[in-house]
Structure 1
Amino acid sequence: MRKLLAVFSKGRWKMEQKLQEQLDGLLEKYTELLLGETNDELKEEVKQWILYTHIAKSMPPLAKHWNATYPDAKQGIKEIIQHIKELNEAHRNKQ
């Protein structure tokens, strides 16, 4: 039984690693299409923007609570949103 669990766990880890790599590729392409360029810092900002935006739209009370609890983080996410907006506008104007 332990061997079976070890094999299953190892197989699952490989699947999770593959999924993570594929999601990273998706994020990289999305960042490139959205902003016209990509790097690790931009990908992280886009990931944070995606997460916050989704939560704010799907569970506004949770986002409101988080904003009230962490005003400094709220300011940080506002800056990220503004930065992404500016980069996106600049990218669209180039096209």
Structure 2
Amino acid sequence: MKDSFKEQFDGLIEKYCELLLGDQNQDLQQKVVYWALYSHIAKQMPALAKHWNETYPEAKGELMEIIAEIKQLNEVKRQSSK
């Protein structure tokens, strides 16, 4: 993979995070990546997501906290944009 691709894709994640949440720090960007990838996996391969949830309940709990945080930050962003 080319370094330029990584930089450009990182820029895409950074901008998506900023537009979604109103902020784009590294921690939030990583959370958005987890959220987006997990959401995609859950839709495309629900059995895999279910298996992972059952195998790693603590990780599932952490992921649910990330998802709740993203939803809350997005709602704040949307309210401030009105």
TM-score by length of structure 2 reads 0.96
Equivalence map 1:3-82=2 (5 Å): 16-82=2-68
How many Å separate the matches in 2 of 1:20 and 1:63? 27
The structure with higher relative contact order (CA 8 Å, sep 6+) is: 2
SS in 2 for 1:24: helix
TM-score by length of structure 1 reads 0.83
- 1:23 to partner: Cα distance: 0.5
Q: Which runs of 5+ in 2 are unaligned?
A: none
Give every structure 1 segment of 4 or more consecutive aligned residues whose post-TM-superposition deviation is greater than 6 Å: none
Q: Which has the larger radius of gyration?
A: 1
Counterpart residue type for residue 8 of structure 2: Q
Task: Give the aligned CA root-mean-square deviation in angstroms.
Answer: 0.7
Aligned residues between the structures: 81
How many Å separate the matches in 1 of 2:44 and 2:3? 28
Partner of 1:92: 78
- 1:68 to partner: Cα distance: 0.3
Counterpart residue type for residue 54 of structure 1: H
